[in-house]
Structure 1
Amino acid sequence: MNLETPKKFRGLANQAHQVAANYFRPISRKYDKAEHAYPKELDLLAALLDGMNAGSPDAVGATSASKRGSGQVEEGVRNGGNLSALLGVIELCWGDVGLLLGMPRQGLGNAAIAAVANEEQLKRFGSTWAAMAITEPGCGSDSAAIRTTAVKDGDHYVLNGEKIFVTSGERADAVVVWATLDKSLGRAAIKSFVVEKGTPGMSVTRLEKKLGIKASDTASISFSDCRVPAANLLGNAEIDVQKGFAGVMETFDNTRPLVAGMAIGVAKASLDRTRELLKKAGCTFDYRKPLLSVSHVEATLYRLEAEWEAARLLTLKAAWMADNKLPNSKEASIAKAKAGRVANEVTLKCVELVGALGYGEDELLEKWARDSKILDIFEGTQQIQLLIIARRLLGKSSSELK
C-alpha cells in the first residue's frame, strides 16, 4: 500500500494548507466572537474555487465527492474526486472548521447533489450553494423517522414539515430537504428535494447559538405548503421497497468521510500547536525511546498522534473506496466514528497538556476543542455510527438490530 498523498493532489493539499494558515487562521477568532455575522472574506475564496472548477473535468471541493463515473473506461486504481475533496477539507480545517462550513458552494448539500443528482440536475444546480436539511424535532439520530411530507401535485411536490440544525440554512441558495412520499411505506419512501431560497412556504424560523463552529450559521427551517418542482427531486422518483432507504443513504457514503476529514484537520492543528508550546516549555521529543522511559506529557502526545494517524488512514480508505466505486458504507461509518471521537479526545487533551495557555483566548486551542465536539455529532452521532457498523458486520437489518 502506498500511503503517501498522490502526486497529482499534492499541489492542491499544499494550496489548501496555505489558505488555512494565511487566510482562515487570521480571521478565525474574529468570527468566533461575531456569531451569525457572515465572513465576507469567504466570497473571494469561493470565487477562486469556482474558477478552478470552470471547464475542468476534475472538480475541487464538495462537488467532487461522488461515486459517479467519468464516462470513460478506467482500469486499475483510481484516486479521484472523493480523495481530493477529503485532502482539501483536512488542510482547510487545520485552519478553521466553521469557516470551511460557511464557505459558499462547499456545503454538505453540494456533496449530496454530487452524489445522487442526475446529469440535468448537476448542470442546473452546479453553481448553487446548497445546505442539507435532514434532522427534525423528535428524530435527531434516526433519519428513517423523518415526518416531513412531500405530496405529488401535478408537476410539483408540496412539502410540509420542520427541519432543525441546518448548517448554512440561512445563507445558502438552496436546501436539500429529506422528505417522505408515503409514511406507510417507511424509509423506502424518503427522497431528497432541492428547495431554492425564496420558495413560497419555506421560512427560516431560528438561528442557533452554539458551542463552536460559530462562523457557520445553523438554522431551523419550516415548510408550509411549499411547492417544489418535481424536477427538483434528486435521483429516482420511484419508490423501490426492495432497495429501501439505500437511495438517499448513499449520500452519507460520500459526506461522512468529509466530516471525518474535518475532525482530522482540527485534531492535527491541536497536535501541531501543542507540540510547539511544549517545546518552548523545554519538553523534548525522541520517538526512538520506549514510552516507559519518557515523561508523561511525551507519552500522552505520542499516543494521541497514533490515534490521529489511525483515524486519518481509515478516512483515506473510505474516500478511496468511493473513488473506486466500492461499497463503502461500513468504512464511511468507521471513519466518521473513529475520527469524531479522536478529534474530541485530542483537542481536549491538548488543552489539558498546555495548562492555562490552552484555556485562554490567546491561543486557538480552546476554540478547536469547542469546534471539535460537533464533528462527533452531526452526519450521524458516534452511537449511530457504531450501530451501523454492527449491522454491517453482523448482517442484520435496522429492524433486527436497533
Structure 2
Amino acid sequence: MINLEVPKKFRPLVNQARQVAENVFRPVSRKYDANEHAYPVELDMLAAIMDGMNDAVAETGVGEGAGAGKLKQDAKKSDGIQNGTNMSTVLGLQELCWGDVGLSLTLPRQGLGNAAIAAVANDEQLARFGHKWAAMAITEPGFGSDSAAVRTTAVKDGDHYVLNGEKIFVTSGERADAVVVWASVDRTLGRAAIKSFVVEKGTPGMDVVRLEKKLGIKASDTAAIVFSDCRVPAANLLGSPEVNVEKGFAGVMQTFDNTRPVVAAMAVGVAKAAIDRARDILQKMGVAADYQGSFKNASQIEAQLYRYEADWEAARLLTLKAAWMADNGLPNSKEASMAKAKAGRAANAITLGCVELLGSLGYGEDELLEKWARDSKILDIFEGTQQIQQLIVARRLLNKTSAELK
C-alpha cells in the first residue's frame, strides 16, 4: 500500500532541496536564462554538498540521494515496503525544479546518463563511473522519439568498439565527464542489437560540434556530438554484449522506466511553482481561493486555479506511484509512461495557464512565470514525447508488441 505522506527519512532531504531551490536557484535563474551556455559557477559548491549528502544517504541504506537521474530499480522485491532511491530522487527533484528546471539539469554528476549507469552497470563499472557526470545521447538527426531507429554503429575490434554516428540534443553534452551513447552493434539485427556505451570526455573521435539555442532550460547546455572512428573499451558497454533477438532491446529500454519518473518529477516541480506564484499574486489582488466555500460559487479565476491544482495532484501521485513500484521491484513501464505523459502535459497547461490568468503580469520578464512556461515545454518532449508515452501505455494495456501496435 502506498502511503501518501513523505517518508520521515526523506523529509530533511526534501527540506534541503527546497532551500536550494529558493535560495540558490531562483536568485540566479534570470541571469543564466539571459546568458545561454554560460556555466552556472554557483553550482560548483552546491554539487560538492550534494555529493556529500548522497554519500551519507547511501551509507544509511536509503539510496543514492536526490540527484537527477541517480536512480536504480531493484532487481527483486525485498521483504516489506521499500522507499529507496527512486522515491528520494523524485521527491528531491520536485523541489529543485520548483526553483529552476535548467539549473537542476546542470548540477554536476546528476545527469540522465547517471540514471542509465545506475540502472544497468555492473560493480566494476559503478566503481569507475559512479561519481562521474554522465550525459545521455540517444536522439539523432534522422529520428526523435523512435529510439529503435538508432543509426550510430558500434563495431567490435578486439578489446574495443569503434563508434560512428551523430547524436543531437544531448543535455549537458559539453559539460559532462562522460556520455552514455546508444549504438547498434549489428544493423542487420534491428533493435535487438542496440547497446549503450559509456564514452568518456576527451576520447579521440568524439567531438562536440555545436551547442543548440533553445526556447527554455537555457542554463543547461544542449550539444550535438559526432563520433568518427571513436574507439571505446569493450568494458564500457553497459549490460550484456550478447544480442538476444527474442528479447529485443527491452534491456536497454529499461533505462526509460527509470528516467521517465525523473522527468515527470521535474514537470511536477515547475507546475507547482507556477500554481504557488499565481495564487500569491491573485491573493494580493484580492482574489483569494476559498477552499471552505462551495465550488459552485467560485469565480472563474478561482475555479481555474482549482482545476490546475487537481491536475497537478494527479500528476504528482502518478509520479510517486511509478517511483514506489521501482523501489519495490515491480515492473513499472506502463506507470512510468503514464506519469511522464500526465506530468508533461499538465506542466505545459498549468504554466501557460497561469501566465494567461495573470495577463500582462505573467507575461513580462519581471516575473519568472513566463520563464517557467518556456522551460516546461521540454518536459513534454524529451525522454519520449506525449504521443510516444500514450502509445507505450496502449501497448501495455492491450498486451501488444511494438510491431503489432505502431
Instruction: Give the AA of the match of 2:72.
Output: S
- Of 148, 158, 161, the residue aligned with 2:152 is 148
Whole-angstrom distance in 1 between the partners of 2:233 and 2:338: 37
- Equivalent residue, structure 1, for 2:382: 378
TM-score (norm 1): 0.98
- Of 158, 161, 181, the residue aligned with 2:165 is 161
Question: Deviation at 1:245?
Answer: 1.3
Unaligned runs of 5+ in 1: none
- Of 286, 291, 295, the residue aligned with 1:291 is 295
SS in 2 for 1:54: helix
CA contact (8 A) 2:192 2:247 kept: yes
The sequence identity of aligned pairs, in percent, is 75
- Of 315, 321, 325, the residue aligned with 1:321 is 325
- Of 59, 77, 80, the residue aligned with 1:76 is 80
Unaligned runs of 5+ in 2: none
Whole-angstrom distance in 2 between the partners of 1:101 and 1:7: 26
Report Cα offsets for 1:210-243 as digits up to 9, x if no partner: 0000000000000000000000001111111121
Question: Deviation at 1:126?
Answer: 1.4
SS in 2 for 1:340: helix
- Equivalent residue, structure 2, for 1:105: 109
Q: Does 1:255 align with 2:259?
A: yes
Instruction: Give the AA of the match of 2:137.
Output: A
Q: Does 1:66 align with 2:72?
A: yes
- Equivalent residue, structure 2, for 1:90: 94
Instruction: Give the AA of the match of 1:253.
Output: D
Whole-angstrom distance in 1 between the partners of 2:48 and 2:85: 19
- Of 392, 396, 399, the residue aligned with 1:392 is 396
SS in 1 for 2:30: helix
- CA 185–69 in structure 1, closer or farther in 2 if over 3 Å, else same: closer
Whole-angstrom distance in 1 between the partners of 2:282 and 2:69: 39
Question: Deviation at 1:69?
Answer: 5.5
- Of 364, 368, 371, the residue aligned with 1:360 is 364
Instruction: Give the AA of the match of 2:55.
Output: A
Instruction: Give the AA of the match of 1:17.
Output: R
Report Cα offsets for 1:343-363 as digits up to 9, x if no partner: 000000000111111001111
Whole-angstrom distance in 1 between the partners of 2:230 and 2:285: 59
TM-score (norm 2): 0.97
- Equivalent residue, structure 2, for 1:182: 186
- Equivalent residue, structure 1, for 2:10: 9
SS in 2 for 1:244: coil
Instruction: Give the AA of the match of 1:19.
Output: V
Whole-angstrom distance in 1 between the partners of 2:175 and 2:70: 22
Whole-angstrom distance in 2 between the partners of 1:64 and 1:159: 26
CA contact (8 A) 2:78 2:329 kept: no
CA RMSD of aligned residues (A): 1.2
Whole-angstrom distance in 2 between the partners of 1:285 and 1:13: 26
Instruction: Give the AA of the match of 1:29.
Output: R
SS in 2 for 1:5: coil
- CA 109–34 in structure 1, closer or farther in 2 if over 3 Å, else same: same
Instruction: Give the AA of the match of 1:65.
Output: L
SS in 1 for 2:373: helix
SS in 2 for 1:284: coil
SS in 2 for 1:98: helix
Whole-angstrom distance in 2 between the partners of 1:176 and 1:109: 6
- Of 181, 191, 197, the residue aligned with 1:193 is 197
